[in-house]
A = this chain, B = another copy of it.
Amino acid sequence: MAAQHNRHRTQAERREQTRTALLDATVDCLVEVGYARTSVQEICARAGVSKGAVQHHFSAKAELMAAAVEHLTEKLKAQRLAAMAELPAGTARVPAAIDLLWEAYSGTLSTAVTELWVAARTDPELRAAIRPVDRALGRSVLENIAAVADNVPRDRVETLFWLTVNLTRGLALDAELGGDPTRRKQLLEEWKRIAVELYAGD
């Protein structure tokens, strides 16, 4: 009975390992070669998984892409929550939270998601798969931010959040094409200054 239970768990673990390897390989592939060259074959080669095995986990490429974003989001969430627990108090909290959002919406996650977003514009199946994941990501980060935004009215938190997210997405695109990093840094600093003023109230 115990042995059978152990064997069952080992199978589930192995299944989980294969799934994780596929999702990590998908993200790596999106970042390194872009969506257009991210084939299931390439992902399998990177993950060391047979093409047949993928079908036990994901019925379509779009599903694999959405799961990869979800997987990366979960990995980053733990990191983000730890950083949020250490946000400074008072007005220093706003610029520190903006830095956290910049980190969340730039880097690997941003690169992978931007590849998928742009591909999804002309691919309805991919769009249907990643829209819910993207919305859930936005809502989840917003709730984390709202939870630490003591005394700031909810509508102000949401405005600041979405302005920051969209500005950050624009800046992340700029970074990807090799725009001037000094200008990006200045703009982010200027935005923090504006945000502190907004946070202080009218």
Q: Which of B121, B159, B186 contacts A186 (CB 8 A)?
A: B159
The interface residues of chain B lying within 8 Å CB-to-CB of A176 are 117-118, 121
Closest to A135 in B: B179
Contact of B34 with A121 in the complex, beta carbons under 8 Å: yes
Q: A33-B122, A170-B166 are in contact. Are A117 and B177 (CB under 8 A)?
A: yes
Cα separation A60 to B99 with both chains bound (whole Å) = 41
| 16 A-B interface contacts by CB (under 8 A) | A34-B121, A117-B176, A131-B178, A159-B190, A162-B187, A163-B167, A163-B190, A163-B191, A165-B170, A166-B167, A166-B187, A168-B170, A169-B173, A170-B170, A170-B171, A170-B173
